[in-house]
Chains A and B, each alone.
Chain A
Amino acid sequence: MHPAPSVIIFTTLSGLGFGLLAWLGLGLPAVTGIVAFIFFAIAFGLAVGGLMASTFHLGHPERALKAFTQWRSSWLSREGVLAVAALLVMAVYGFGVVFLSVQWTLLGWIGSLLSALAVFATSMIYAQLKTVPRWNLPLTPALFMSFAIGGGALMAGQIKVATVLLIVAGIVQVAYWIVGDRALLGSGSTLSTATGLRFGAVRAFEPPHTGTNYLLKEFAYVVGRRHSMKLRVIGLALMAVVPVLCLLLPFSHVLAAVAVLSHLMGVAVVRWLFFAEAEHVLGLYYGVR
């Protein structure tokens, strides 16, 4: 799949933003006043910035409001509804914490739950697609959730919890790679089932056109896959190993900043791989993976 920058920025930033909101809603850290304002500003900046980025790849962003209508069937619509609901509830909760120094606990819990559900809905946009076997796994929501909650804990300064959760996120990521590498084969889709031609070995002889097309550009992205092993190691190191080491050392603000930045870059790298490595079954028709 084509790793569109808008989608990578969206899932990376808003995942982290909603992760942080989920912790803030639980009152962790229990901050008020100006400190709370900074925490909430960062969380909203990430979540809203990510959502804005996601509209860049739309053909008609001016019609985006229509995307809130089909929550009964569409995960993309649900994601929009949950994200907006989470932001609204957390804005009210944040107002109380920042300006009135009160914690409306129940409201915070609701906001926290909605934030987590928004990330879950994002992951289901990908996990629901049978056409991309590497995404069509229960590990996909696990991956997005563990990243958001682990990264959120890191941002929220919950050092002990974050250490454990980032290790968990790293393990889920490795598991996702191991299972994902076999997913296309396991899906049972081959050029034979795609064409129904079963009287011999089928080979794509000639594509339907001399140039390229939307489908090949969008779904048959193979650039840089040969570096995927190196990128996996780099991504894992940045998103989990470095931050965990920073957290294990005695606390300092510099180390905390390094941990957050490293995690953010690491998530972006593995998110790039999440798209670039994903094979769409449509590629079979073109003899590419």
Chain B
Amino acid sequence: MTQLPEHTEKSLGLVIDLDTCVGCHACVVSCKGWNTENYGAPLSDQDPYGSDPVGTFLNRVHSYEVQPASGPAQLVHFPKSCLHCEDAPCVTVCPTGASYKRTEDGIVLVNESDCIGCGLCAWACPYGAREMDAVAGVMKKCTLCVDRIYNTNLPEEDREPACVRTCPAGARHFGDLSDPGSAVSQLVAERGGMDLMPEQGTKPVNKYLPPRPKDKIGEDIDVLAPLLEPVAEEQRGFFSWLDKALEKL
């Protein structure tokens, strides 16, 4: 059914910390791995070892340079996967009912056996979160690792999205964003979590935490700085003689 639910019981999603992401792409690899080996059509690659490799990914990491009015530029690594929007335009445009948003947890999914591969949902997503798989001919997108988070065959600590589980910097957090008491909601409140492209009216569930302001290097560099002053300003002994001798030459 491609009409959106009026209300979802939960709003499961990710909170991505742009302050701590180091741009290592570990989440990209683990996402590709998990979603190729598990639920749904595998994420194919074309010409993977050739000169022109292309492939399907559900999560990609961009890098942006931000130049403030004064001071040095800052590099921000920017992971991007489906934001599981509340008002998901990708769902309502789907002609077949393959795209849907779940009432129980708000996850946006594609039923691959109904998808005709028309691509319209990818046109409707402002974030580039959907990619058509060139081999399977169906639309692929982040499933919020729906086959992990409820999977009782996995040890408890693994029942979270692969990208969250793997991130070495702890830059990705998973939880229920409709519950103000959840850890993710508190993180969003504390750090001023934001929506991407709010003007598109998609009401994304995923939130991004902006980079913290960098420390300013002022007059006083460090309390330890005086101790680091050079101890010998004058040369003595052999090197002093050598220096003078070379000077005279």
Interface of B is mostly: loop
Chain B residues within an 8 Å CB radius of A14: none
Instruction: Report the nearest B residue to A79, measured CB to CB.
Output: B95
Given contacts A189-B200, A204-B62, contact A285 B128 (CB under 8 A): yes
A208-B32 Cα distance, complex, nearest whole Å: 14
Given contacts A73-B92, A75-B93, A282-B125, contact A213 B66 (CB under 8 A): no
Instruction: Report the nearest A residue to B78, measured CB to CB.
Output: A195
A202-B63 Cα distance, complex, nearest whole Å: 10
Chain B residues within an 8 Å CB radius of A271: none
Q: Is A258 an interface residue (CB 8 A)?
A: no
Q: Do residues B68 and A193 form an inter-chain contact, with CB atoms below 8 A?
A: no
User: Which of A73, A128, A212 counts the most B-chain CB atoms under 10 A from its CB?
Assistant: A73
CB within 8 A of A73: which of B2, B57, B62, B118? B2
Tell me the A191-243 residues at the B interface (CB within 8 Å): 191, 193-215, 218-219
Q: Is B60 an interface residue (CB 8 A)?
A: yes
Q: Is A67 an interface residue (CB 8 A)?
A: yes
Q: Is B149 an interface residue (CB 8 A)?
A: no
Tell me how many residues of A have a C-beta within 8 Å of chain B: 60
Given contacts A59-B117, A131-B125, contact A200 B137 (CB under 8 A): no
- Cβ of A281 to closest chain B Cβ, rounded Å: 5
Chain A residues within an 8 Å CB radius of B3: 72-73
- Cβ of B87 to closest chain A Cβ, rounded Å: 11
Chain A residues within an 8 Å CB radius of B55: 213
Q: Do residues A199 and B2 form an inter-chain contact, with CB atoms below 8 A?
A: no
Report the stretch among B173-181, B190-198, B222-230 that lies at the interface: B190-198
Is the interface on chain B under 10, 10 to 19, 20 to 34, or 35 or more residues?
35 or more
Chain B residues within an 8 Å CB radius of A215: 122, 128, 131
Chain B residues within an 8 Å CB radius of A286: 62
Q: Is B126 an interface residue (CB 8 A)?
A: yes
A132-B200 Cα distance, complex, nearest whole Å: 11
B17-60 vs A, Cβ < 8 Å mask (1 yes, 0 no): 01000000100100000000000000000000000111111001
Given contacts A73-B92, A211-B52, contact A285 B198 (CB under 8 A): no
Chain B residues within an 8 Å CB radius of A63: 96, 114-116
CB within 8 A of B95: which of A74, A195, A202? A74
Q: Do residues A129 and B62 form an inter-chain contact, with CB atoms below 8 A?
A: no
Q: Do residues B66 and A200 form an inter-chain contact, with CB atoms below 8 A?
A: yes
User: Which of A64, A68, A209 counts the most B-chain CB atoms under 10 A from its CB?
Assistant: A209
Given contacts A59-B115, A131-B123, contact A187 B96 (CB under 8 A): no
Q: Do residues B199 and A197 form an inter-chain contact, with CB atoms below 8 A?
A: no
Tell me the B56-91 residues at the A interface (CB within 8 Å): 56-57, 60-69, 73-76, 78, 80, 89, 91
A193-B195 Cα distance, complex, nearest whole Å: 9
A191-B25 Cα distance, complex, nearest whole Å: 21
Q: Do residues A59 and B96 form an inter-chain contact, with CB atoms below 8 A?
A: no
Q: Is A105 an interface residue (CB 8 A)?
A: no
CB within 8 A of B195: which of A60, A196, A202, A212? A196
A188-B119 Cα distance, complex, nearest whole Å: 25
Chain A residues within an 8 Å CB radius of B124: 128-129, 131
26 contacting pairs across A/B (C-beta < 8 A):
A59-B115, A59-B136, A60-B116, A60-B117, A60-B137, A63-B115, A66-B96, A67-B116, A72-B2, A73-B93, A74-B92, A75-B93, A128-B93, A130-B126, A189-B199, A194-B196, A197-B210, A197-B211, A203-B65, A205-B75, A206-B63, A209-B57, A213-B54, A213-B55, A215-B131, A218-B119
| Interfacial residues, chain A to chain B (CB-CB below 8 A) | 1, 57-61, 63-64, 66-70, 72-77, 80, 125, 128-132, 187-189, 191, 193-215, 218-219, 280-282, 285-286
